[in-house]
Structure 1
Amino acid sequence: MKLALPLTILSYALAAAAIPVNKKRQDADPEADAIETNGPLPSGTETYGDTELAYNTTDYPDSVEAALNGTRAVALAAVREPTAQEEEMITYYMTLAGAAYCSSVMSGTWALCLRCGDVRHTEIIETFDTLIHDTNAMVVRDDESKTIVAVFRGSASLQNWAANLDATLTNYPAGGRVHNGFYESYEDVADELTAVVFDQLEQYPDYSVATAGHSLGGATSLLCGLDLHQRGIPADKISIHTAGAPRVGNTAFANYIIDTGIYYTRLTNKRDLIPHVPSTTMGFMHAGEEYWIRSDDTMQVCENGLETPDCANSTPLFTNMADHLDYMGLLGLCL
């Protein structure tokens, strides 16, 4: 079944503009309440790298279960259910993000991507594979929704993981500080990719622009959306859609994202640990409107702006990697 996408990106952006934006204090830690409520991990639990986050635990307290099954959300005024149109939009961009892992798609064809049926009507304009950081991306055009989309692949190589580990905060030209590895990965492809986007916009001036990606691809797609805005595309013609993305910059950078007015959705899945790194104690902070997939695969939407304690941040320290690898069943199953 082909996704209809009845609303353009501009329509979504205008709708989002009516949602209050939550700018928290600079010293707010959105995970602190959950860590206190959920308590410590059982002794001997395997953790992720040098963090205190569980790598793949299957046991967790009732407080995490209450968050996952939606019981906790009933008492939270700031949490809402997504509309059918929002769910359709999230699924569409997640399908594109998952497709970026398929080598056949990155070679310019949809033929061998078993999960790509809903986006095969889009035209692959150009694909990219950089030498230094192995940044893989593509620009596609959807003539039904009149959208040009820059899609970024997540981690799939040693170069990608080297970038993930380079978590030094470096100055971001427009404000704040960002993860150096993510920034360099995007810069590796920035000029070439944005030139294709602008060429498409010159041919289709009434089209909107979107960016999408999962994991590392979510981080680079965020930087791409901001870069396109800085290069002259109005905020109301851009949207950013990430899935399972790590934190990209500090609170000043997150507030810069909010200040642009760009429509930014951030999809998280159950107890996926990657959205919790790098840690807030290192100075990192998410922005955007979070769509959190609960244990029954329904979603709840948290307050727009700086990240809140009410969606994925209700699960630390009881996270896992398995949920990072299964977003809506749209990762894998391709050649």
Structure 2
Amino acid sequence: MARLSLSVILAALSGLAAAAPAPLDKRAISASLLARFNLAEQYAAAAYCGTNNDSPGTEVSCSSGNCPLVDTASTNTTVEFEDTTVTDTTGFVAIDTTNSLIVVSFRGSRSIQNWIANVDFGTTATTICSGCPGHTGFWNSWREARSIVVPAVQAARAAHPSFQILVTGHSLGGAVADFAAADLRNSGYSNVVLYTFGAPRVGPAALSDYITAQGNNYRVTHLNDPVPRLPTLNMGYVHISPEYYISSANNVAVTANDINTYAGNSNLSGNAQWGLNVDVNAHLWYFNDISACE
């Protein structure tokens, strides 16, 4: 994955609003939730591997060795997509019979530097909820992939009605996953759980609070990863709540005690506390090297 341009990041973050922190809601997570995070993160990592984006009907695997939980599960992709939309939304839908999951995973940007330099921070109307505008680029990415993803989920749920639908993604993929999970829930799918890693904000409070209220959302951040601080608060963007903030260093194993939970759509207690202090490597390390396959 291309390295972020520090000057571009600082220019974008220089507009951060000086908002008052939300009430602190800090608590460590359980060992069982940590295990779920590890599995979801590895499915997000798998979306970076080209073999999971161009060969439907095969097992999900990571040639880089960074998704062992996925590698050892019994999986089969029902649809894989890459370069099939104007926005190049990339990922797969898979069935995991080991963990009783229907997995929808979206790849992050090929070049985060280009994404930050060229992203359109404007908003557009969405169909997620009435009066809920969202980030134009992220919404268009989901809107174009929807005709591929939804039929695959429909078929998978028909075949496995008791399976949970796990929607995940890293970085840009996390932003697309936000819209995908919300849309699937609105379409009547039950037991849809959203896990994002290093995802940016996707819209103003009307949209973010609506997705928060749907429940079953796990937004994971890491140290001073710059991406979750974009688009900035003073642009009118806020986050889905709660935030699960990893405080451990890069390149070390994450324990349950390393993750604290913070509530509020604009809390400044987790990742946002870093202000203009950024570390690109913090964006690339979520339980392991999440984009190693790229």
Change (3 A) 1:47 1:239: same
Q: Is the 8 A contact 2:246 2:260 kept in 1?
A: no
Partner of 1:257: 211
Query: Structure 2: how far apart are the matches of 1:77 and 1:132?
Result: 41
CA–CA distance in structure 1, aligned partners of residues 9 and 35 of structure 2: 33
1:291–1:302: 8 Å Cα contact kept in structure 2?
yes
User: Which residues in structure 2 correspond to 1:174-323 (within 5 Å)?
Assistant: 174-175=129-130, 176-234=132-190, 237-260=191-214, 262-296=215-249, 297-298=254-255, 299-323=258-282
| The one of 48, 59, 62 aligned to 2:9 | 48
Amino acid at match of 1:276: R
Shift of 1:229: 1.0
Is the Cα contact below 8 Å between 2:26 and 2:261 reproduced in 1? yes
Please give the alpha-carbon distance, in whole angstroms, between the structure 1 residues aligned to 2:30 and 2:227: 26
Separation in structure 1 between the aligned mates of residue 167 and residue 282 of structure 2, nearest angstrom = 22
Instruction: Give the corresponding residue for 1:328.
Output: 287
Name 1:8's counterpart in structure 2. none
Tell me the CA shift for residue 294 of structure 1: 0.8
Compute the displacement of 1:188 (Å): 1.0
Letter in 2 for 1:257: I
Per the alignment, in what secondary structure is the counterpart of residue 151 of structure 1?
A: strand
Aligned equivalent of 1:128 = 81
Aligned partner of 1:66 in structure 2 is: none
List runs of 5+ in structure 1 lacking aligned partners.
Answer: 1-44, 55-75
Rounded to whole Å, the distance in 2 between the matches of 1:157 and 1:303 is 29
Show the counterpart of 1:117.
Answer: 68
What is the CA-CA distance between 1:216 and the residue it aligns to?
A: 0.3
Q: Secondary structure at the match of 1:196?
A: helix
Distance 1:202 1:116, change over 3 A: same
- Offset at 1:95? 0.7
Identity %: 28
Question: Separation in 1 of the partners of 2:200 and 2:194?
Answer: 14
Give 2:26's aligned amino acid. Answer: V
Give the partner amino acid of 1:268.
T
CA contact (8 A) 1:215 1:243 kept: yes
Q: Secondary structure at the match of 1:50?
A: helix
Q: Which piece of structure 1 moves more, 240-249 or 101-110?
A: 101-110
Contact 2:244 2:259 in 1 (8 A): yes
Counterpart position of 1:141? 95
1:111 deviation in Å? 6.0
Distance 1:185 1:53 in 2: 27
Deviation at 1:135, TM superposition (A): 0.5
Residues 198 and 225 of structure 2 are in contact (CA less than 8 Å); yes or no, is this contact kept in structure 1? Answer: yes
Shift of 1:164: 6.2
> Equivalent of 1:153, from 103, 107, 116?
107
TM-score (norm 2): 0.83
With normalisation by structure 1, the TM-score equals 0.73
1:131 is paired with a residue of what secondary structure? coil
Q: Describe the shift of the 1:183–1:325 C-alpha distance in structure 2 as closer, same or farther (beyond 3 A).
A: same
Tell me: CA distance 1:117–1:283, structure 2 relative to 1, closer, same or farther (3 Å). same
List alignment gaps of at least 5 residues for structure 2. 1-5, 16-22
Mark the structure with the bigger radius of gyration.
Answer: 1
In the alignment, structure 1 residue 172 sits paired with structure 2 residue 99: no
Cα separation, 1, equivalents of 2:175 and 2:241: 12
- The number of aligned residues is 266
The match for 1:99 is: 46
